[in-house]
Amino acid sequence: MKILSSNYIIGLLLCLGISSCSDKWADHIGSGDAQQSLYEVVNDNAQFSAFADLLERSGYAEDLKASKNYTLIIPTNEAVEAVRSNYDNFNDSTVLRSFVGYHIINSIYSVNEATDTVKAKNFRNKYVEFTRGAFDEVVPTSQNLTAGNGIYHVVPAALKPLQSVFDFVMINFSELEQVKAVSSFDTVITVNADGTRILRINSLWFTQTRQHMTREDKKITYFVLDDEYYSEEYNKLRPYHSTSYAEDGVRPDSTTTFFTKRALLSDLIVEGELGAEDLDAELLAVSGTKFRVDAADVISTHKTSNGRVYRVKKLNVALADQIKEIKVLGIQPVGFKQNDKAGNTYYRNKRDLNGELYDDIQIYDHKVTAFYAKYRANNLNVVKYKVYGRAIMGLAGDPQVTAFTQYVHFFDPTLVSANEVDLYKRPVVNNQDVNDTRMTFTVEPRNHDEVYLGEVIQDEFGRLPLLVMSNGTGPIILEYLRFVPILP
Amino acid sequence: MINKNKLIKLGTFLFLTTVAGGKIYSQTDQVTDQQVLAQQANLVKVSGTVIDSRSGEPIAGARVTYGTTTAKITDNRGRFELELPEEDALVEVSMDGYTAKQIPVLFDRPMEVVIYPASYPSFYKQTTTVFGSNSLMNTAGAIAKYDINAWEQNSETLDSYLQGKLSGVSVVRKSGTPTMGANVMIRNYNSLYTNNQPLYIIDGVVYASEIHSPSITTGHENNPLQNIDVRDIQDITILKDAVSASIYGARAANGVVVINTNHAKELATKIDFQATTGMNFTPKALPTMAAYAYRSYLNDVLATTSLSGEEIGGMPFNNDDRNFEEYARYHNETDWQKEVFKGSQDQNYYLKVTGGDNIAKYALSVGYNNEKGIIDNTNSEKYTARFNGDMEITKKLTAQTNISMGYGQQNLKDQGLSPKTNPIFLSLVKAPFMHPNEVSADGGVSPIYAEADILNISNPLQIIHNGINNKKSYRFLGSVVFDYKFNEQFNLTNLLAVTYDKAQEDFFVPKKGIARDTVNNMEVFSRLGTQVARYFGISNDIRLNFSKDLGNSSQLQAAAGFRYHNHDAEQDYALGFNSATDQLVSIGNSTAASRVYGGHIGSWNSLTTYALGSLTLKNKYIFNGSVGVDGSSRFGDKVKSSIKIDDKAFGIFPAVGAAWILSNEDFLKSNASVNLLKMRVNYGVVGNDDVGNYAARQNYISQNFLGVQGLVREGLANPYLKWESVEKLNAGLDVSFFQERLNVSVDVYQHTTRDMLVYNRGNALAGVAYYLYNNGSMRNRGVDLNIFGRVVDRAVKWDAGLTLGTYQNEMVSLPETSFTSYAGATFITEKGSPANSFYGYKFDGVYSTEAEAQAADLGILDIAGEKVPFNAGDARFVDKNRDGIIDESDRFILGNPIPDLFGGLNNTISYKNWKFGALFTFSVGNDIYNYTRAQLESGSTYYNQTELLQGRWRTEGQVTNVPKAAYGDPMGNARFSDRWIEDGSYLRLRQVSLEYNFPVNKQIIKYVRIYGTANNLFTWSKYLGYDPEFASSADIFHQGVDVTLEPIYKSVQLGLRIGL
């Protein structure tokens, strides 16, 4: 009897024990309402059935089952229906993926009314902008809801997948000369020995022009010109970009046409997305060219995923802003007469008498007759340049305190294009060629002003090699040389 | 009442005997003889019945004795009649197999004496302690005795066996690892920086139970008590107070555990054999996240590192393309805890043979224990042997030998704070999407275990199957006791004991599968180590005992002695790194430049002179006095002390006690319900000599500097360094009701530690930041309660015993408030509070929104001293000083690991041939810092986390109690706060056993018993860890911190015992 009752007690305790053991962690962890995956959230909610269907068809459903973290922007059924006709009922799988992928963002982005624009990259590699509680100006009906693998926001209107500037102009303005010029750079330009064709895009073109039009993490404003104005500008700039390379030769990326187009096309991109009200001011292209737009010349404006496209009749731009002056910095030599004088070569960061910082090069006590440093002026247009130089000495602590002379030496232009390497094999000091140009650069103590050195003609677009040479074994000091084009 | 002259004479006698030995013996003999003669004049007649508690029937053949003069045997009806010379006499009623009982005689009516079997706990028990073999009745000390019958609990070590059985003795098992043992605290710790474990006396020998050398396996300790088989133990007596322990002088501060091992009791040859097999069960897994939730968490954490979204997205575990060549490697669902923890089987054999003749008796036992842990591939194999002999060389000279040997071999794994090699910790934190084995691109599983993963977390199975942590330990303890009996009163005892202990350890952590580490600016890929630790001790204890019946129900016992103990310990280890291949596992294969040698030697001596006396008057008044005078090579030369011998300081440890047995007084002795009432009070001082072998001296250690070995000074000499003293004041009451059916023993005590070692701020110019000095003080006050008795006394017998202990600790004086840290926790020890209190921040939820965080306007200071505000998703901490900055000045005392109440409830129920036992243990109100959970819920590492982290803060406006995931925890959200402090209270069904005794023909076989035992069957606790009971070491500053040790697990055993 007693044993029975004690067994009973033990049994009771046993039950208690089991229940209390399992409860303590449940109490600690809590109910866990965030444990559905995003995929389940979309599928289990009748309000999102249209999007769930699209998700399944697009193939992105698998991603939302995975346990990486996503932010999902869910358009309601009404929102999907409202745009269904715009996308041809999503029959095209590309369109479908583009639409759905636009609503899925890698990593977690919560909506916060207090914060300014946050850009979130979605599955289409486009950026959705979260600005003060709205996405691309769509205000969510509910926001910051958690799921097992991320968070989601519900929007009453679907987000619109936009094309990049590049894609937009290529599709919508393909007939225009300007756009043809852009696409001409994307054509096959090299054929290998085995017959394979490779697309080789000129790197300068890519970084200076094309990349601006395609990259999604920055916004630009792009101007598309009338054919008439485009041709006018092209013809105007062409003489300044002429080269000796044949138009149908082995280097299609070095022809006159190439350089002219490249200069013109990079003048049409402005950083940042400009609204109509911003067009009144003077604009600065990524190439550094200044120009203005007359409001009357704007034909249409178009929003793209990475900026705004303005279709305009013409731009107001001066030739002086297009053919720019060039500076050659003393601290950027490309070589020296001999390589053993690094110990005598100083790259200095100094303050001038006005307290302004400047960088220069000083080659001092080198003990080499007619020592020189090699420089290159790049992207010089076909035009005559005035050359100015600035070299400062005689400041406190300088070893050189008295006036001295150095030379700026330009080679015979005919030799330059033939082979730059051979230039330096010539005994330039004693046998100065008749076609060489040597300018005397007299440096006065404590002189902050530029010194006019002379004129030099560039007869082919591109680089101009030059030397800065010592007088005997004297010093060389140079902050910069400035090439100012002499324009009509 | 008491003859004054007589008292003075006795007092003089006591003094002279203890000081001068037998010189006065003939005079005293005359005195007592005269007294006895004087009192034989008027005899009084008493009668009564002796009753057996088991059957309730009268017992025939029980002995009823009065002093040495009168003895009677009860008749068939259990009756006896005696003629006694005095009215306040006591008679002793005894019977083989029963506890003898001394009871005051009644003249007005027949007496009724109930006697209990020897297994029943009783205040009348005999005990062999420092007072010699004696009755518990005759001491004024706080003593608890426990008769061991540990056949059902052979997986226990001595220290863990004590749990729940004795009041005021707090036993905390260190971990589930076999042989690990337990921290035994008799009435709490009395010291901060010295030993706080009791002194063990085994068969009269001071047992070297200190851990002299740390193990090179992290989280392990080589328990010196593992070599004692609990089945060899006959009884354990705990001396909690000063008067019963002060003859152990400077080593008795933490109480004394006196253990007597089995000796042959009968001449007939007896053979006991036991065979047991057991099953161990894995613990309930902690709810860590499965692969899906973990991957989401991991991506969240990675997003807060410097890695870009593209880099994170490109990581192999994020690639869900089934054609991806590493898909199979990174897309699994592994339950690592299941891989690491495995159920296991134990085996156990034990044989004991006792017997002899009237010249020599022997008890021989041998045991083999093969216990397995629950971490896969760990075990402990143990061989023990003991030979106890008793020889009667002449009538007057007897000798006793106690020889024991133990050998143990253990396969271990790193535990505790070893995040790269602790398999349990790794099983919790390792990514569940990884596979334990190498996996080919098409999903084929190789038998080879996988490498460490890309998150730099080791594969625990490599440690388990290819790592080595091997320990071999030996201990020999031999002692010889000669006892020469001069006459009835005097005998001289000499005890000589030798202890030899050796522990050898090797470990190897393989290269494959283990996360790499950097040690001393070197990249480490495999780790090797070896150690030999040795201890040799020799002790001699010579003692003169005196015992005399003074007549008139009075007796006197006294002893004086001299004890010498020499200890010699040495540890040598070598650690190295980077062996050429994982097949080369011994230390010689490590790269020479990486090898580190070290160790220590420790040798010390102690010298104790002691004396004690015990006087019982008229069986009512008991006076105890004892003194120990203790010297040690550890003490400084300039210590001020009242006794100096050869210019060396000796500590004096005196104690006195008195007891009054009220129930033997006339006014109570006829009371039917109160059978025993005894009041005790005692006071004394005991010491702690564990001040460091050489701390009082200036010493040098070797140090490696740029490849050159040299000597540097380790510390300044402190010649004033001395022992710690613990003043113990104890008052107790023992009551027995209803013929011993209900017994209550209660003690209140106050222990005050003076001259306690504490760290003092040194002079930085001298190169000493801190030094130890005896200028601290601490106090423990507490109550011990023990209630035991027979609950049901019919055909079913139910005996129950409840032990309770509670104490309060307070720092009385300290040179300065000290802060210590362990496993990321901070502890404060300050005046007026308990030592070692958790000291951290108070967590107050999580900022749900940015606006909420801004409104709170709290922040932390960065390195430059700039305020960095908390953001949405960060933890909100209480700003104690309201300065808007959460820093060290905002910490609170969060609790401490000392329980408010602890104890046990022991039950034995017997019915016919069945015997059922159940032991509950409990601890209430102790706080635990759950370091393991702090790692599993920090949200700041790549470690897998508990499922709680699925509710982490992720979005603006989310209301949760879990801060956001942030790699490296820049805002300190996971800092040491009350988030990690938990209530460690528990109630545990510690042990249940059921035994069946087969009815057999006793002519052929004495008994056949089969039994089943279950250990740790149920634990009721709110604690969020594997188990609320653990201790990473005996150090105070490591208590209550769960550093992921092998948890205490459930096990069952089935056994067979045969007696021949």
Give the range among B342-356, B630-644, B1043-1057 with minimum mean pLDDT.
Answer: B630-644
Residues B525 and B637 in one domain: yes
What mean pLDDT is predicted for residues B447-455? 92
Residue type present at position B615: L
Q: What is the ipTM for the molecules in this complex?
A: 0.78
A34 CB neighbours in chain B (<8 A) are 950-951, 954
CB contacts under 8 A, A 6-25 vs B, are 6, 13-14, 16-17, 20-21, 24-25
Do B526 and B473 belong to one domain? yes
**pLDDT tens digits for range A220-248:** 999 999 999 999 999 999 999 998 888 87
pLDDT of residue B128: 66
Amino acid at B9: K
pLDDT range class, residue A258, cuts 50, 70, 90: confident
Considering the domain architecture, whether residues B993 and B1034 belong to the same structural domain is answered as yes
Tally of structural domains, chain A: 3
Examine the pLDDT at A477 and tell me if it is beyond 80.
yes
The answer on B965 and B903 residing in a single domain is no
Domain co-membership, B987 together with B1023: yes
Which of A2, A13, A29 lies closest to B1018 in CB terms?
Answer: A13
Q: Which residue of A has its CA nearest to B914?
A: A3
pLDDT classification of B36: cutoffs 50, 70, 90: very low
In the predicted structure, residue A23 carries a pLDDT above the cut 50: yes
Residues of chain A contacting residue B287, judged by C-beta atoms under 8 Å apart: 25, 29
Question: Which among B84, B116, B148 is the end of a domain?
Answer: B116
Q: What pLDDT score was predicted for residue B31?
A: 43
Quote the pTM value: 0.81
Angle at B967 between CA B963 and CA B970, to 5 degrees: 75
CATH of the domain at A133: 2.30.180.10
Say yes or no: B296 contacts chain A, CB-CB below 8 A: yes
Residue A468 located in a structural domain: yes
pLDDT tens digits, A408-436: 998 877 776 556 666 777 666 556 677 78
Q: Per-residue pLDDT averaged across B453-466, rounded? A: 93
pLDDT at B917: 92
Q: Are B500 and B182 in contact (CB under 8 A)?
A: no
Give me the residue from B296, B850, B916 closest to A67, CB to CB: B296
CA distances from B432 to B291, B336, B457 (A): 5, 7, 12
Domain final residue, candidates B116, B140, B155: B116
Nearest Cβ partner for A107 among B303, B1019, B1023 = B303
Which of B292, B309, B911 is facing A107, going by the closest CB pair?
A: B309
Instruction: Give B931→chain A minimum CA distance, Å.
Output: 16
Q: Is the pLDDT of residue B15 over 50?
A: no
Testing the interface with B: which of A12, A20, A69 to mutate, by most B Cβ within 10 A?
A: A69
pLDDT at B609 over 90: yes
Question: Count H helices, E strands: chain A?
Answer: 15, 27
The predicted-structure confidence for A283-339, as pLDDT tens digits, reads as follows 999 888 999 998 889 999 998 888 899 999 999 999 989 999 999 999 999 989 888
CB-based burial, A324-345: b 16+ in 10 Å, e otherwise: bebebebeebeebbeeebeebb
A66 inside 8 A of chain B by CB: yes
Q: Hey, are the CB atoms on A62 and B320 less than 8 Å from each other?
A: yes
Is residue B689, in this structure, part of any structural domain at all?
Answer: yes
Cβ pair B989:A106 closer than 8 A: no
Do B410 and B542 fall into the same domain?
A: yes
The DSSP element (H or E) to which B273 belongs, if any, is: strand B270-280
Q: Which amino acid is located at B1055 in the chain?
A: G
Same domain, B674 and B617: yes
Are A144 and B956 within 8 A, CB to CB?
Answer: yes
- Has residue B1043 been placed in a domain? yes
CB B916 to CB A3 under 8 A?
A: yes
Is A276 inside a domain boundary? yes
pLDDT score of B17 more than 50: no
Do residues A364 and A425 both lie within one domain? yes
pLDDT at B714: 76
Look at residue A301 and tell me if it is in a domain: yes
Window 957-976 of B, Cβ < 8 Å to A? 957-958, 961
Contact between chains at A29 and B947 (C-beta distance less than 8 A): yes
Put simply, the answer to whether B320 touches A34 (Cβ < 8 Å) is no
Based on the domain organization, do A88 and A193 belong to the same domain? Answer: no
Q: Which of A287, A304, A322 is the last residue of a domain?
A: A322
User: Which residue among B294, B955, B961 places its CB closest to the CB of A146?
Assistant: B955
Cβ pair B1019:A17 closer than 8 A: yes
Res B27: pLDDT: 41
Q: Does B29 score more than 90 pLDDT? A: no
What's the gap in Å between the CA of B318 and the closest CA on chain A?
7
Domain harbouring A414, CATH code: 2.60.120.260
Which pLDDT belongs to residue B98? 83
Between chain A and chain B, the number of residue pairs with CB atoms below 8 A apart is 112
**Of A400-404, B55-59, B130-134, minimum mean pLDDT range:** B130-134
Q: In terms of domains, do A79 and A193 share one? A: no
What is the pLDDT, as a whole number, of residue B449? 94
Minimum Cα–Cα distance from A35: chain B residue: B950
- Chain B residues within an 8 Å CB radius of A112: 850, 956
B110 contact partners, CB below 8 Å, separation of at least 6? B47, B48, B49
Specify the residue for token string 């076909």.
Answer: A382
Let me know if B358 is exposed, middle or buried by CB neighbors in 10 A (0-12, 13-18, 19+): exposed
The domain spanning residue B484 has which CATH number?
2.40.170.20
The string of pLDDT tens digits covering residues B648-687 is 889 999 999 999 988 888 788 777 788 889 999 999 999 9
The pLDDT assigned to A22 comes to 56
A107 contacts on B by Cβ (under 8 Å): 299, 303, 309, 312
- Do B374 and B413 have their domain in common? yes
B248 contact partners, CB below 8 Å, separation of at least 6: B130, B199, B201, B206, B256, B608, B628, B686
pLDDT of A25 strictly over 80: yes
Residue B145 has pLDDT above 60, yes or no: yes
**Res A430: pLDDT:** 55
* Cβ(B660)–Cβ(B676) below 8 Å: no
Which residue of B909, B954, B1020 is in closest CB contact with A108?
B954
Judged against a pLDDT cut of 90, whether residue B448 lies above it is answered with: yes
Instruction: Look at residue A463 and tell me if it is in a domain.
Output: yes
pLDDT digits (tens, 9 = 90+) for B807-830: 999 999 999 999 999 999 999 999
Q: Do A106 and B309 touch (CB under 8 A)?
A: yes
**Residue A213 and residue A81 share a domain:** no
Please judge whether A17 and B1020 are an interchain contact, meaning their C-beta atoms are less than 8 angstroms apart. yes
Taking only the tens place, the pLDDT of each residue in B466-501 is 999 999 999 999 999 999 999 889 999 999 999 999
* B287 SS3 class: coil
Q: How confident is the model at residue A196 (pLDDT cuts 50, 70, 90)?
A: low
Nearest by CB to B948, from A28, A115, A146: name it: A28
CA-based angle A293:A294:A295, to the nearest 5?
Answer: 110
The CB density around residue B560, as the number of other CB atoms within 10 Å, is 21
Of B293, B300, B955, the CB nearest to A144: B955
Same domain, A171 and A312: yes
Say yes or no: A110 and A230 in one domain: no
Which residues form the domain of A89?
38-155
Nearest 10 degrees: CA dihedral of B793, A17, B163, B364?
80
Read off φ and ψ for residue B546, nearest 5 degrees: -135, 135
H or E element: which one contains B491?
Answer: strand B490-509
Phi, psi of B917 (to 5 degrees): -125, 145
A273 and A332 inside one domain:
no
Task: Say whether both A124 and A70 belong to one domain.
Answer: yes
B8 pLDDT more than 70: no
The answer to whether the Cβ–Cβ distance between A32 and B291 falls below 8 Å is no
If asked whether residues A190 and A315 sit together in one domain, one would say yes
Mean pLDDT for B599-622 is 89
Residues B802, B753, single domain; the answer is yes
pLDDT mean across residues, chain B? 87
Domain boundary among B95, B116, B137: B116
Percent of chain B with pLDDT over 90: 55
pLDDT surpassing 70 at residue B875: yes
* Confidence grade of residue B132 (pLDDT, cut at 50, 70, 90): low
Per-residue pLDDT at B339: 93
Task: Report, as an integer, the average pLDDT of A128-148.
Answer: 82
| Separation CA B949–CA B288 (nearest Å) | 9
B1024: contact with A, CB 8 A cutoff: yes
B907 pLDDT band (50/70/90 cuts)?
Answer: very high
**Domains: count for chain B:** 3
CB atoms within 10 A of CB A449: 9
- Nearest by CB to A21, which of B284, B296, B911? B284
Of A34, A111, A148, the CB nearest to B956: A111
Mean pLDDT of B946-965: 89
Instruction: For residues B994 and B964, state if they share a domain.
Output: no
CB < 8 Å to A114, chain B: 850-851
For residue A63, what are the CA distances in angstroms to A60, A66, B459?
5, 5, 29
DSSP assignment of A372-384 equals EEEEEEEEE-SEE
Structural domain contains residue A480: yes
Which of B292, B296, B311, B1026 to mutate against chain A (most A CBs within 10 Å)? B296
B719 & B779 share domain? yes
pLDDT of residue B958: 86
B855 close to A (CB below 8 A)? no
Is residue A469 assigned to a domain? Answer: yes
pLDDT band per the 50, 70, 90 thresholds, residue B89:
confident
Confidence of residue A198 (pLDDT cuts 50, 70, 90): low
Q: What is the CA radius of gyration of chain B?
A: 32
Q: How many residues does chain A have?
A: 488
Could you report the per-residue pLDDT of B756-770, keeping only the tens digit for each? 999 988 887 877 788
Model confidence at B257: pLDDT above 90: yes
Name the minimum distance, in Å, from the CA of A148 to any CA of chain B: 7
Identify the sign of the CA torsion B183, B189, B194, B197: negative
Chain A partners of B950 at a C-beta cutoff of 8 Å? 29, 32, 34-35, 148
Residues B552 and B693 reside in one and the same domain: yes
B295: nearest CA partner in chain A = A67
Residue B334 falls within a domain, yes or no?
Answer: no
Asked if A110 and A140 sit in the same domain, the reply is yes
- A67 interfaces chain B, CB cutoff of 8 Å: yes
Chain B residues close to A35, C-beta within 8 Å: 293, 950
Contact B951 A20 (CB under 8 A): no
Confidence label for A190 from pLDDT (cuts 50, 70 and 90):
low
Among A121, A155, A189, residue at a domain's last position: A155
Judge: A67–B916 Cβ closer than 8 Å, yes or no. no
- Check CB contact under 8 Å for B955 and A30: no
For chain A, say whether B262 makes contact (Cβ under 8 Å). no
In a domain, B153, yes or no: no
Q: Is residue B162 part of a domain?
A: no
In a domain, residue A347? The reply is yes
Q: pLDDT for B782-813, tens place per residue?
A: 999 999 998 888 788 899 999 999 999 999 99
Q: Is residue A383 part of a domain?
A: yes
What's the whole-number mean pLDDT along residues A57-83? 86
Q: Which residues of A touch B291 (CB under 8 A)?
A: 67
Q: Which amino acid is at B1042?
A: D
Domain assignment of residue B608, given as a range: 199-281+343-834+898-932+983-1059
Statement to judge: residues A130 and A265 lie in one domain: no
What CATH number is associated with residue B96? Answer: 2.60.40.1120
From A1, which residue of chain B is nearest by alpha-carbon distance? Answer: B796
Contact B850 A114 (CB under 8 A): yes
Query: Is-contact B422 B1044, C-beta < 8 A?
Result: yes
CB-CB: which of A1, A24, A108 is closest to B1024?
A24
Q: Inter-chain contact B313–A67, Cβ cutoff 8 Å?
A: no
Residues A318 and A422 in one domain: no
